[in-house]
Amino acid sequence: MIENENQIALIKEQIGFLFDKDLLEEIYKVGRLKKIESGDIIMDPGEEISYIPFIIQGSLKVSREKDDGEELLLYYIESGDTCAMTLQCCVRKSKSSIKATAMEDSLLLMIPMQYMEDWMNRHASWRQYILESYHVRISELMETIDAIAFMRLDERLDKYLKDQAKLLGSLEINHTHQQIAEDLHSSRVVISRLLKQMESKELIELKRNKVILKGF
C-alpha cells in the first residue's frame, strides 16, 4: 500500500491523468514502488510474472534473448509506460518471453497481476490505457522490423544513437561498443568501425565507454 504523500503526488503527476479517480485510489491501495539501478534486470525469459510494472521515473529496455545469450532489442518503455509483452503474458497467464533491463536508475510502480482483468471490466480508463499500450508497442515493433529489414547498419546506428539521446535526455550515451552491438544485433568490430567513421565526419566524439553526439 502506498501511503506516503510524496509518493502519491509523484504517481499522480506521472500517471494520474491516465486514470479515473476511483482507479487511482485502488492503485494506491494495491501498488508498491520499487527502485532499480541502471543495468538491473527486472525480468528474464521464463520467469513467472506476478506484477505489472509501470515506469514512474527512468526507462527500461525490452529485448528477446536466445539460449546463447544473444539479444535482439524490441523497444524501450519510459515514464508513464508499461510493457505490452508483460500485459500479454498476464492475459494468457504464461511465463515471461522477454528480458527487461533498466537503462538508468528508475522507479517502478508494481501492480499485482490479478487486478488486470478485474480493472478491464470495471474501469474504462484502464481498458483504454491497455489498448493504447498494445497499439504503441506494436507500432514500435514494426519500426524495429522495418529498420532491420530495410535500413543499412550505418543508418540503424545513427537512428539508434539519436533515439538513445532522446530517451535518456542527454547527448552523452554511456554505452560500450559491445552494448551497442548487442542492441543492434551486430558485432563489436563492425560497430566500432562505423563509430570511427562517424567520428571522422565529426558527427560524434568517442570517449571510453561513451559516445557523445555532436550537432544533434
CB 48 within 8 A of CB 19: no
Residues forming beta bridges with residue 72, ordered by sequence position: 64
pLDDT tier at 216 (50, 70, 90 boundaries)? low
Report the C-alpha gap between 81 and 60 in whole angstroms: 10
Report the C-alpha gap between 140 and 158 in whole angstroms: 17
- For the chain, give every residue range classified as CATH 2.60.120.10: 5-149
Lowest mean pLDDT among 46-60, 66-80, 187-201: 66-80
pLDDT tens digit sequence for 96-124: 888 999 999 999 999 998 898 899 999 99
Check residues 159 and 84 and name the one with the higher pLDDT: 159
DSSP H/E element including 160: helix 153-168
Q: What is the pLDDT of residue 90?
A: 72
pLDDT tens digit sequence for 22-48: 999 999 999 999 999 999 999 888 888
Q: What is the pLDDT of residue 66?
A: 74
- Count of Cβ atoms closer than 10 Å to residue 24 Cβ: 19
What percent of the chain is predicted at pLDDT more than 70?
98
C-alpha cell at position 70? 544473444
Q: Compute the mean pLDDT over every residue in the chain, rounded to the nearest whole number.
A: 90
Position 215 pLDDT exceeds 80: no
Position 6 pLDDT exceeds 80: yes
Q: Indicate the SS3 state at residue 114.
A: coil
pLDDT tens digit sequence for 132-169: 988 888 898 898 889 888 999 999 999 999 999 998 89
Q: Indicate the SS3 state at residue 88.
A: helix
We find that the CATH architecture of domain 152-213 is: Orthogonal Bundle (1.10)
Strand order in the sheet with 51-57: 32-36, 106-112, 51-57
Count Cβ neighbours within 10 Å for each residue of 72-103 and write b for 16 or more, e otherwise.
Answer: ebbbbbbeebbbbbbbebbeeeeebbbbbbbb
Q: What is the pTM of this model?
A: 0.83
> What CATH number was assigned to the domain covering residues 5-149?
2.60.120.10
What percent of the chain is predicted at pLDDT more than 90?
54
Residues 6+ apart with CB under 8 A from 82: 52, 53, 54, 55, 133
Helix axis angle, 21-30 to 5-15, nearest 10°: 130
Position 194 pLDDT exceeds 70: yes
Q: What is the pLDDT of residue 37?
A: 95
Q: Indicate the SS3 state at residue 211.
A: strand
- For the chain, give every residue range classified as CATH 1.10.10.10: 152-213
91-98: average pLDDT: 79
